Amino acid sequence: MDNECVIVAKGIKKTYRSGSVQSNVLQGIDMEVMRGECVFLVGPSGSGKTTLLSILGCILSPDSGELQIMDYDVTGLNAKHQARFRREHVGFVFQRFHLFDGLQAWENVRVALDLLGYPARLAKAESHRLLELVGLSDRTEYRSSQLSMGQRQRVALARALAGDPDLILADEPTASLDAETGLNAMKTLNQLAKTLGKTVVVVTHDSRIFGLADRILNLVDGRINESTVEQRQKASNLAGQTVSAADLR
């Protein structure tokens, strides 16, 4: 199971057209991500990270190329089946959380379970289990507006885990958090990969946490260059303090 490829992308291209302007954002993306891997996606602003993440999560279709997730050819699915695939296999964590402020933490998680057709009597227990998994069992009844930023991010993560998705995609999940809280959020994502065998892809600019990645994919000029963690570590060591996977233990 450990060597199972969860994402296989070949020659993914995406062009946006706005009036007479055409941007060839993705110009042939080839990548593979294995089960249990925690991979970071980095690159300059506007390089197409969110676009690529959206394609990996079946929110957006590429213009051409092949994308297999969990052995399903998702580029061949119609919109309805893509939506179903997304609900069953993909969990998203957004930078701004997208929680319902008026709902309690467990209710925010339950919303995702409702969409998956979870029976109401099981949904409450499952919401609490997921919040416990992300270390938030003492805040289940708090409304979002009563939670700290880091706690809200954890609720968003618990919600992303609803339905036990194979793939977790996170777009700059630490951007609204202070350094320590952001680091803790990333540790949790890394641990989900390592302990539950989730496949985690994170877009981030935060060089202090590069050591928590198994691999770092660099998106430049519409293509991916892979840098080893060691190379990145050296680069970010020059920039300041870094954290490595060894610090998790």
Quote the radius of gyration of the chain (alpha carbons, Å).
Answer: 18
Residue 186 touches ligand ATP, criterion: CB under 6 A: no
Amino acid identity for residue 21 in this structure: V
**CB closer to ligand ATP, 82 vs 140:** 82
48 contacts which partner out of Mg ion, ligand ATP, none, CB within 5 to 8 A by kind?
Answer: ligand ATP
CB atoms within 10 A of CB 112: 22
Contact status: 50 vs Mg ion (CB under 5 A): yes
At 150, the amino acid letter reads G
The window from 3-11, 42-50, 58-66, 159-167 that contacts Mg ion (CB under 5 A) reads 42-50
Provide the 8-state DSSP code for 147.
S
- The position carrying tokens 């660099």 is 218
Minimum CB–partner distance for residue 224 and ligand ATP (Å): 12
Tell me the closest approach of the beta carbon of residue 106 to Mg ion, in angstroms: 30
Instruction: Specify burial of residue 129 (Cβ count, 10 A radius: 0-12, 13-18, 19+).
Output: middle
Report the half-sphere exposure of 190 (CA within 13 A, side-chain side).
21
Measured between its terminal Cα atoms, the distance across the chain in Å is 24
25 binds, among ligand ATP, Mg ion, none (CB under 5 to 8 A by kind): ligand ATP
Distance, in Å, from the CA atom of 1 to the CA atom of 204, rounded to the nearest integer, reads: 28
The residue count for binding ligand ATP (CB under 6 A) is 12
The phi-psi region of residue 45 (left if phi > 0; otherwise alpha if psi is between -120 and 50; otherwise beta) is beta
Q: How far apart are CA 164 and CA 127, in angstroms?
A: 12
Quote the least distance from Cβ 50 to ligand ATP, whole Å.
3
List, in sequence order, every residue forming a beta bridge with 8; answer none if it has no partner: 32, 68
In the list Mg ion, ligand ATP, none, the entry touching 51 (Cβ below 5 to 8 angstroms by class) is ligand ATP
Least distance to ligand ATP, CB of residue 141, Å = 34
**Contact string 22-51 vs ligand ATP (x = CB under 6 A):** -x-x-----------------x-xxxxxxx
16 binds ligand ATP (CB under 6 A): yes
Min dist CB 173 to ligand ATP, Å, is 13
Residue 95 touching Mg ion (CB under 5 A)? no
Interface positions with Mg ion (CB under 5 A): 49-50
Interface positions with ligand ATP (CB under 6 A): 16, 18, 23, 25, 43, 45-51
